[in-house]
Structure 1
Amino acid sequence: MTSKLKSISLSNWILIGMILGFIVGLFLNFFVTDPFIKDIILIDNVFYLGGTLFIRLMKMLVVPLVFFSIIVGAASISDIRKIGTIGGRTILIYLITTALAVTIALGLGALIQPGAGLNMVASTDVSNVTLNQTMTDTILNMVPDNPFSSLASGDMLPVIIFGLLIGIILAKLKEEVAIVTKFFEESNRIMMELTSLIMKFAPIGVFCLMAKTFAGLGFDGLLPLAKYIICVLIGLAVQAFIVYPSLLVLFTRLNPIRFFKKFVSVMFFAFSSSTSNATIPINMEKVSEMGVSSEISSFTIPLGATINMDGTAIMQGCAVMFAAQAYGMDITMAGLLTVIFTAVMASIGTAGVPSVGLVTLTMVFNSVGLPVEAIGLIFGIDHILDMFRTAVNVTGDAICTLIVSFQNKALDIDVFNGKKAAKTIGIDYQ
């Protein structure tokens, strides 16, 4: 029995915690009438303590995790100068597709209204100062006048800018500052390990958050949650089957249907594994079979697995609208642009740790003053959506690789069209 319990994955434990929390919450809502047991003991103490403690642990991770990952991510792309325009085009396309992804998600969130009906206003005290700031304030606030103050207060946009600048300098100085670079790399590794440790408590935290929420909301909370799932899935479908094919046709005139016929096996692999990193070898092999030069794919695919997180950006955009509507908060145009910028920057640090996209979602929420407690409502269903997100992420990596390869005359069109056999790169991904 113990061995069977140990074999259950963390994602499944989180899902179990969500389901149990939902059941317990509904049971308290409909069958427990004693206010001392229901409200004072369970809701206001046990569930509040468990849920709030987990949220605080998540918030504790955000600043150092993002700061170190941004620095390491920026410092690790120093080889771009050797590759020249290939690197610049690759990063530009990745950033553009991510910005499009989160923009689509925000639009769908405004249209579908996934958080409408969840009256969470009374459960938190949130200031609208950040949401109502002007565009001028948004731009000025991106540059820290005191970076250490920004780190201490968790002001994420200045932290991101400061981290990017440090990473760029480390990439420029290279071996001259190898010790400092090593320090940030090891610090980033420590934060990743700490994230993995804290995530082990996620099932308990999710259980408490769900039980507390549905003990007060009952079945009224189900519809918004279902609408959130639909919102994310529609966004992922639009990105995968409209945005990507359109870019492929626009920049290469290649047939997107032929691409998907060749690439569908990689999408299924990514869906089942839920990790972009594990899909790198099979993705490189597949684009090589489509006629892409290995010199291109060996750079663009691993880089994309690190910084190209369109699926995660869609989830974050939908989650922002879900939380804003649930708490009755209006986000201005400046706030929406802040979300887009923050989500794009957050994509640099979302790879490598399971559910780390939800950790960086805390950063996105903080950037516009949204309560991070709303993350607890979507935590339990994230693993299911993560499978779809990963499939979209790796598809974006392959599309970008084809575009960059075509523009640099490193794509064999005849191979892509099936007129001759490909020279595979011989990667073993078993």
Structure 2
Amino acid sequence: MKIKHIGLLTRIIIAIIIGIAFGHLLPAPIIRLFVTFNEFFSEFLGFAIPLIILALVTVAISDVGKNAGRLLLITVFIAYGATLFSGFLSYSVGQSIFPMIITPGSPIQTIEQVEKITPFFSVAIPPLMSVMTSLVLAFTIGLGLASMHNNTLKEVAHNFQEIILKLISDAILPLLPLYIFGIFLNMTYSGEVYSILIVFIKIIGVIFLMHIFLLIFQYSVAALFVKRNPFKLLGRMMPAYFTALGTQSSAATIPVTLEQAKKNGVDPKIAGFVIPLCATIHLSGSTLKIVACALALMIMQGMPYDLSLFAAFIFMLGITMVAAPGVPGGAIMAALGILQSTLGFGKEEQALMIALYITMDSFGTACNVTGDGAIALIINKITAKKETPKP
């Protein structure tokens, strides 16, 4: 009974600490049990994520009504603008600092692949549709319901949403700390939690500081709209930050992000629309990290670069990020094409980008989802102004 009264943030932090501590103590068979659970829960999350997006976004668009199209455009515009800002911020800071801490043309160390413990067994639970298919389907059905007066179909959508919300509250959220414990347990045991960090520790430090600055900036902008303390607003989003830190997935963190956005005063209908949408289209943290890592590797390799080259890369990256699936490492996989075509990265550079990105994937994802809360605050204020009747 007492465990239920411990907040989600506290449980997640405890899970991370215990996972790192026990990773050095527990024998391989015990760790393998947790890895088996994580494999199953990960499959279950992958199955549930498209359903969560479909249920929440469909009802949100339907409830917004005729303003759904305008709300969608405003949200996409703000999310894309935030992504571009993070990309140019990353380039500006990186080209000023990286040359001082990186020796141009220095040999790149080979990163050995760490063999993780495998589960005893795995059960494949393929999702009914991809994340992007779910998102497009939610737009289609939601906009259709918003323009219709068929209460029966809207009631079906609301009932479906209730089922998914019950799934979130009764199954996903209670098991999240155990899932995160298993992730850090396996990473610590295998040595992966330290191996690559040592190679690029200075670069990682700069990127982490940029993430902090970006979040403070985003919530300072949101605070100007809602006229509230930005640090209190940001503080309420910390459960989402630490959940993303463990799961490494924006989409898997939607339930927590949604709950914390509501606690910040965002209307449930707006939160139900903006949060799932931004989990797919708003990747400021990931964009910042990809730009910084790409720039660092180019400096390390002695490759030529300038603002015009990276401007083209950042604008394309902002669009490509929308196609990134809501799974760990999805953003870098979606970005490999333009890393090759725009920056001229070969297989070696791409492999190093993947290794460096995956090492910090959780921090970029945490920045993404926490920033979603700032966008939700801004959208909530804009829509409130629009809907306020004139005296």
AA aligned to 1:267 is: L
Q: 1:157 aligns with which of 108, 127, 132?
A: 132
Q: 1:64 aligns with which of 47, 67, 74?
A: 47
Distance (Å, rounded) in 1 between the aligned partners of 2:87 and 2:192: 25
Per-residue CA distance 1:348-389 (angstroms, 9 max, x = gap): xxxxxxxxxxx655554564579699656554x689x67x96
Distance (Å, rounded) in 2 between the aligned partners of 1:203 and 1:58: 12
Question: Does residue 74 of structure 2 align to residue 104 of structure 1?
Answer: no
Match of 2:57 in 1: 74
Q: Decide whether aligned partners of structure 1 residues 213 and 70 sit closer, same or farther in structure 2, where only a CA change above 3 A counts.
A: same
Question: Does residue 259 of structure 2 align to residue 277 of structure 1?
Answer: yes
Q: 2:198 aligns with which of 200, 208, 219?
A: 219
Match of 1:12 in 2: 13
Question: Does residue 187 of structure 2 align to residue 209 of structure 1?
Answer: yes
Per-residue CA distance 1:176-211 (angstroms, 9 max, x = gap): 475576356525643675543255131232132245
Distance (Å, rounded) in 2 between the aligned partners of 1:322 and 1:62: 30
Match of 1:239 in 2: 218
AA aligned to 1:80 is: V
CA contact (8 A) 1:102 1:340 kept: no
Distance (Å, rounded) in 2 between the aligned partners of 1:74 and 1:378: 26
Distance (Å, rounded) in 1 between the aligned partners of 2:203 and 2:335: 21
Higher relative contact order (CA 8 A, sep 6+): 1
Q: 1:314 aligns with which of 247, 268, 284?
A: 284
RMSD between aligned alpha carbons?
A: 5.5
Q: 1:93 aligns with which of 74, 90, 94?
A: 74
CA contact (8 A) 1:54 1:205 kept: no
CA contact (8 A) 2:262 2:271 kept: yes
Q: 1:336 aligns with which of 299, 314, 317?
A: 317
CA contact (8 A) 2:91 2:291 kept: yes
The sequence identity of aligned pairs, in percent, is: 10
Distance (Å, rounded) in 2 between the aligned partners of 1:302 and 1:156: 16
- Max Rg structure: 1
Per-residue CA distance 1:295-339 (angstroms, 9 max, x = gap): xx68546655665569973234345557878999x9977972454
Distance (Å, rounded) in 1 between the aligned partners of 2:264 and 2:233: 10
Q: What is the TM-score with the length of structure 2 in the denominator?
A: 0.57
Match of 2:119 in 1: none
Question: Does residue 198 of structure 2 align to residue 229 of structure 1?
Answer: no
Distance (Å, rounded) in 2 between the aligned partners of 1:225 and 1:303: 33
Q: Decide whether aligned partners of structure 1 residues 220 and 106 sit closer, same or farther in structure 2, where only a CA change above 3 A counts.
A: same
Distance (Å, rounded) in 1 between the aligned partners of 2:169 and 2:62: 22
Distance (Å, rounded) in 1 between the aligned partners of 2:202 and 2:162: 43
Q: Decide whether aligned partners of structure 1 residues 191 and 363 sit closer, same or farther in structure 2, where only a CA change above 3 A counts.
A: farther
Q: How many residues align structurally? A: 320
Distance (Å, rounded) in 2 between the aligned partners of 1:240 and 1:92: 21
Per-residue CA distance 1:18-45 (angstroms, 9 max, x = gap): 75489x59xxxxxxxxxxxxxxx99xx7
Question: CA offset at residue 103 of structure 1?
Answer: 2.8
SS for the counterpart of 1:123 is coil
Question: CA offset at residue 60 of structure 1?
Answer: 2.1
